Amino acid sequence: MECDLVIVGAGPTGLFATYYAGFRGLRVVVVDSLPELGGQITAMYPEKPILDVAGFPSVKGRELVAGLVAQAESAGATYLLDRTATGLDHRAGPDGGVTLTLDDGTTVEAKAMIVTAGIGKFSPRPLPAGEGWLGRGLEFFVPSFEPYADRDVVIVGGGDSAFDWAQNLEPIARSVTLVHRRDAFRAHARTVEQVKASSVEILTKAEVTALIGDPDLEKVEVTVDGEPSLRPAQAVIAALGFVADLGPLQEWGIETHKRHLVVDSSMRTNLERVFAAGDITDYDGKVRLIAVGFGEAATAVNNAAVVIDPTAHVFPGHSSEGA
């Protein structure tokens, strides 16, 4: 498969890069290891209100992704989803390019590449008591709130995801209990106070020590200060964080710093024709926000466009000028 630009990562930054590459007239292929577009937002917090995207006082994750997907449609890109990029053959020089190999054997020949893979491939931290319960009452992500209506829900964790899900499920679930092994929380203080003021029961210095039911979950054992007790639960959500892994990308020869790709002000990596944008990048003063990723995507695409066609200009003019 041949193209001008291959983008690795179909999260918000990758989707905006796709749109902008289409605006620059480039043929684009997008690769992502997840089966759906949207990256971490789609996988982890599609219902969460996002407050720091310019022009949107508040926008749900799934709505932001839907808008980015619609915007990117104008690029006519080819999406290769549920496939992991495993190998990179990098060729420098005026007639150089990249060959990206995927885990299903597909190869993509491109004149340049932009890596927008966020934190890389991620997997949830397991709940020790939950082995064998995935899909039978235990979940690690909440793509939709409706399945939890009128159910007793136990959420395990003390970070932003745990409190966000507790806050959003409280109006529709029969009951929500948040279990955390410490009495301090990593979540945003304002959200913690809002959840404390709601009907959510918060148990600290506690852990879920057993899931009980046949075949599906009916109740859980929660141990608080060494004292176990049973409570009804048809759903347990383990929000214990996740393990991020750059995977094969670390073997491609791209300079990294603390699991991030080092780039310059043009979003170039140390490999010619290989750029990066979004949360995966690192440079002095880096701020990891979706809004920052959008700007980096445009910078990366514009500089890649000149590598692909040396007669092109870095700044092509404003998109409104062609409307």
Per residue in 49-88, pLDDT (tens digit) is: 888 899 999 998 889 999 999 999 999 999 999 899 999 9
Compute the distance between CA of residue 194 and CA of residue 204 in angstroms, rounded to an integer: 17
pLDDT over 80 at 322, yes or no: no
Q: What is the SS3 assignment for 262?
A: strand
Q: Residue 15: is its pLDDT beyond 70? A: yes
Binding residues for FAD: 13, 32, 40, 45, 85, 122, 279, 320
Q: How far apart are the first and last CA of the chain?
A: 31
126-238: same fold as 2-122+243-322? yes
pLDDT digits (tens, 9 = 90+) for 104-145: 999 999 999 999 998 766 678 899 999 999 999 999 888 788
Asked if the peptide bond before residue 147 counts as cis, ω within 30 degrees of 0, the response is no
Q: Distance between CA 122 and CA 49 in Å, rounded?
A: 22
Which residues are documented as binding site? 13, 32, 40, 45, 85, 122, 279, 320
- Kindly list the domain boundaries of the chain, sorted by start residue: 2-122+243-322, 126-238
Identify which of 289, 259, 251 has the alpha carbon closest to the alpha carbon of residue 120: 259
Q: At the top level of CATH, which class does the domain 2-122+243-322 belong to?
A: alpha beta
Q: What is the pLDDT of residue 45?
A: 73
> Taking the model in full, what pTM does it have?
0.77
Q: Which CATH number fits domain 126-238: 3.40.50.300, 3.30.200.20, 3.50.50.60, 3.90.700.10?
A: 3.50.50.60
Whether the predicted pLDDT of 162 surpasses 60: yes
Confidence band (pLDDT; 50, 70, 90) for 323? low
Q: Find where tokens 């020790």 sit.
A: 128
d(CA 291, CA 54): 7
Q: What is the CA radius of gyration of the chain?
A: 22
